[in-house]
Amino acid sequence: MKLSRDSNIFRARCGKTTRITVLRCFTNFELDGIVQPVHTPTHSPAPIEARDQRVFDAVRELLSTQGMQLSMDTVASHVGCSKQTLYSRYGSKRELLGLVVRQNISATAGPLTSSDERPLREILLGFALPYLEHLNQPSVRQTAQLITAGVHEFRDEAQALYHDSADALREQLAEWMRTEMARGRIIHDDPHFMAEMLISMIAGQDFERQRFHAPHRDTPRQRRRWAEFAVDAFLRAFPAPPVGIPGTR
C-alpha cells in the first residue's frame, strides 16, 4: 500500500478495516533553521519546551521595547534562528503572540482550580497577589503603553491580544466562580459580571498611576494590603447563601 504524508491510512487487519489517522506535527524543532517533522500521538499535547520558552521570552522582551512593531524577523534574530523556522513552528506573528499571552494567563489563573477545598479568601488572595505583582513589573507597564500607542495601526492584532489576555482571564475567573456557585460557596449572580468586578477591584487605579508616574503602591506590603481589602470587599458583596436557601438575586 502506498502511504502519503498527512493522509488517512486504511489497513486491513483480521478481515476488518481499521482507520488510522496520521498527523504531521513538529516536535524536533531546532533554533538553527532546521525543522524535522515526526509523528506523535494526538492524545498528549507536547508541553512547552525550553526552545519554545526562549522564543516566548524573546517576544515578551521585544514587546516591551517595540510594541506591535515587533516582527518575526526581529524575533528570529533575537533567538538565533531563521524566520522560516518561526513560521513553520508557530504559523504567524498573530498566532505566536497568542501563545505568549495565553501562557501568561494560564500562569495567572493557575491558583483557580475547581476542586480546591481551601477557604475562598485564601484562594482569591493566591490569585490577586501574583496578578498585582505582574501588573507592577516595569516591562508590563511599558508593553501596555506601546501596544496602546500602536492600536490604530495594528487594530486587528491588538484586538486579538486583548481577546487572548484580558478576555481570557475574565472567562477563566468566571468559570471558576460558576463552579463555586454550584458548590454553594458564592451567592448566585452573573459570573462574568462578578469576574470583571473582582479584576477591576484588584487592579484598582495603580496601573494608571504608574502610567502617569504618580505615587503608587510600590512595595509588596502595600500591594498585599490592597489585595486583602479588594478580596474581602468582594466576598462581602457575594457571600455564600444561607444554609438550605438557594442563593439568588
Is 47 within a domain? Answer: yes
- Provide the domain limits for residue 229: 113-237
Q: Is 192 found in the same domain as 136?
A: yes
Residues 55 and 79 sit within 8 Å (Cβ to Cβ): yes
Is 1 within a domain? Answer: no
What CATH number is attached to the domain comprising 140? 1.10.357.10
Q: Is 220 found in the same domain as 154?
A: yes
Is 18 within a domain? Answer: yes
Q: Is 232 found in the same domain as 121?
A: yes
Q: Is 131 found in the same domain as 230?
A: yes
DSSP code of residue 25:
E
Q: Is 131 found in the same domain as 78?
A: no
pLDDT tens profile 195-240: 999 999 999 999 889 888 899 999 999 999 999 999 999 999 999 8
Distance CA 88, CA 193 (A): 40
Q: What is the pLDDT of residue 245?
A: 53
Arithmetic mean of pLDDT, 103-123: 93
pLDDT confidence bin for 246, thresholds 50/70/90: low
Residue 238 in grid coordinates: 457575594
Distance CA 249, CA 231 (A): 21
pLDDT tens profile 61-104: 999 999 999 999 999 999 999 999 999 999 999 999 999 999 99
Is 101 within a domain? Answer: no
Q: How many domains does the chain have?
A: 2
Q: Is 81 found in the same domain as 126?
A: no
Q: What is the pLDDT of residue 76?
A: 96
